[in-house]
Structure 1
Amino acid sequence: MFRSGVTLFGFVALVALAGCQPTTVDDGRPETARDFPQADRPVGPGGATDFFAEQTRDDRREAVTVMDLAQIRPTMTVADIGAGEGYYTVRLAERVGENGRVLAQDINQDALRRLGTRVEHERLDNVSIKLGAEDDPGLPENSFDRIFLIHMYHEVTEPYAFLWRLRPALRAGGQVIVVDVDRNGGQHGISPALLFCEFDHVGFRLVEFVRKPELAGYYAQFEAVGKRPEPKDMKPCSQPSATAETGDSNSG
């Protein structure tokens, strides 16, 4: 009886102690993103890494149109985030030339292995490859003239942490390029209104916005302005209504 009583007392004490300990709710978010707001939008599963057949995209001049809008020139240093199997990576490498640099980043290790084989086969000496994280692109500071987020931003599960950590990687005058589709995140897209809001809340200004059939979607270009906000001061954007409208262009 004495031993049983001690066991019971110890059990009660442990239960009481456990009740005083803080508990962590496992909501699936990375620990490194918990200081940031949680996105108020659905995020669909990752799409195919080739998105469309490359020849189809070239036939409608997608990459050429995007690179022209972004004013990509020889000697520039650019990052291709969500590079997949390298549709933009190889075309950016050609455009920036041997004195330019391209960093291809993705969170899909299999896609990066295939891209590495492609880069080696095509002898793209100005391309580097890097594994990223869902809430951190892992880019070196003050390094890039342009950062490309092509048909992938709608898949970013932690946009506020992601953009906050991306922002210092821009050089003075550097800009972020987004190409995406105007539809719900569960359908592999994001509305322009929500895109603009999320970038605005991390301290970016919209420079240009156009819709073009060559893109099968829209093109948005942003630059960093002012101080980067503290994570605790950031507020999440609300999912816009289906009737929200956006203009076809915006500059200045």
Structure 2
Amino acid sequence: MLAIALYLASVSQTGAADHRFLGPAGAPATQFPKPDRPVADIVAPLWHSEEERDGFDEPGQLARLLGMRPGMTVADIGAGSGYLTVRLSPVVGPRGRIFAQDVEASYLKDLGERVKALDLKNVTVSLGEAHDPRLPPASVDVAILVHMYHEISDPYALLYNLAPALKRGGQVGIVDTRAATSRHGTPPELLACELAAVGYRQVAVHSLAGSDTYLAIFTPPAAEARKRPAEIAACKAG
């Protein structure tokens, strides 16, 4: 509760958040299994230096492979320092929107100040929960989870609660290394299993040029095909 209070205080100063865009609460984490593998600690808001990531054009690769274009709404889940948020803002343009969401209030305070300083009017900063991104229903064309999936303490709940936020034809793009989750990566086979357990369908896997990471792309289950939380079973790592 203290973190939320600090966050609300910070966004009232930066003007970066608009709580009209906060979605309804989803299913509680207690209804879902815990992951049957280690969950990595959240250690920093930035994976590598921004200059290094610019060097292999991580934002450009994601935009191209996920088909981002002007007018789209992109959810940057686990936005951290806002590296991708500020670079994807011009990609979706003034008619599009970026939801920059994180569970760390201190990260969002800094990100809110960055968004305000850059005058990014199409960016909405929002505080989510570990099991629920709290995004509006049918509002998102593309959701990205970049270098943070291994840090999600309740992945089955989060994926379940994310699905209703995606528009028809929406996609989820997850970027990670192939290392074990205890080493801040997610093996692609484990990732595919965990998303399939919630009803997502994997449509592509791409190795990102210039780095040791991959992008896995999924489509969410249709509303009528969604499993009940009790039907979801955790995947076993390795």
Q: Shorter-chain-normalised TM-score: which range?
A: 0.7 to 0.9
Name the counterpart of 2:235: 237
SS in structure 1 of the partner of residue 132 of structure 2:
coil
Equivalents in 2 of 1:194, 1:145: separation in Å?
Answer: 25
Q: Does 1:131 align with 2:122?
A: no
Q: Does 1:220 align with 2:221?
A: no
Name the counterpart of 1:5: none
Aligned partner letter, 2:148: M
Mapping for residues 35-114 of structure 1, pairs under 5 Å: 35-114=31-110
Deviation at 1:210, TM superposition (A): 1.4
Deviation at 1:213, TM superposition (A): 3.4
Over the residues paired in the alignment, what is the CA RMSD in angstroms? 1.2
% identity of equivalent residues: 43
Mapping for residues 119-158 of structure 1, pairs under 5 Å: 119-158=115-154
Name the counterpart of 2:23: none
Deviation at 1:212, TM superposition (A): 2.5
Equivalents in 2 of 1:233, 1:80: separation in Å?
Answer: 28
Aligned partner letter, 1:229: K
SS in structure 2 of the partner of residue 201 of structure 1:
helix
Name the counterpart of 1:178: 174
Deviation at 1:215, TM superposition (A): 4.3
Q: Deviations over 1:182-239 (max 9, x none)?
A: 1111110111111000100111100110112334310100002341100111111111
Equivalents in 1 of 2:101, 2:208: separation in Å?
Answer: 26
Name the counterpart of 2:3: none
Q: Deviations over 1:53-101 (max 9, x none)?
A: 1111101111111111111100001100000010000111110001100
Q: Deviations over 1:144-168 (max 9, x none)?
A: 0000100111100111111000000
Equivalents in 1 of 2:175, 2:126: separation in Å?
Answer: 21
Deviation at 1:108, TM superposition (A): 0.8
TM-score normalised to the size of structure 2? 0.86
Equivalents in 2 of 1:32, 1:169: separation in Å?
Answer: 16
SS in structure 2 of the partner of residue 93 of structure 1:
helix
* Conservation of the 8 A alpha-carbon contact between 2:163 and 2:221: no
SS in structure 2 of the partner of residue 213 of structure 1:
coil
Equivalents in 1 of 2:91, 2:182: separation in Å?
Answer: 33
* Conservation of the 8 A alpha-carbon contact between 1:179 and 1:215: no
TM-score normalised to the size of structure 1? 0.81
* Conservation of the 8 A alpha-carbon contact between 1:204 and 1:224: yes
SS in structure 2 of the partner of residue 196 of structure 1:
helix
Mapping for residues 14-29 of structure 1, pairs under 5 Å: none
Aligned length: 210
Name the counterpart of 2:189: 193
Q: Deviations over 1:104-156 (max 9, x none)?
A: 00011111000000000000000000001111111111000000100111100
User: 4+ residue stretches of structure 1 with deviation over 6 A?
Assistant: none
Aligned partner letter, 2:110: R
SS in structure 1 of the partner of residue 124 of structure 2:
strand
Higher relative contact order (CA 8 A, sep 6+): 2
Equivalents in 2 of 1:236, 1:151: separation in Å?
Answer: 21
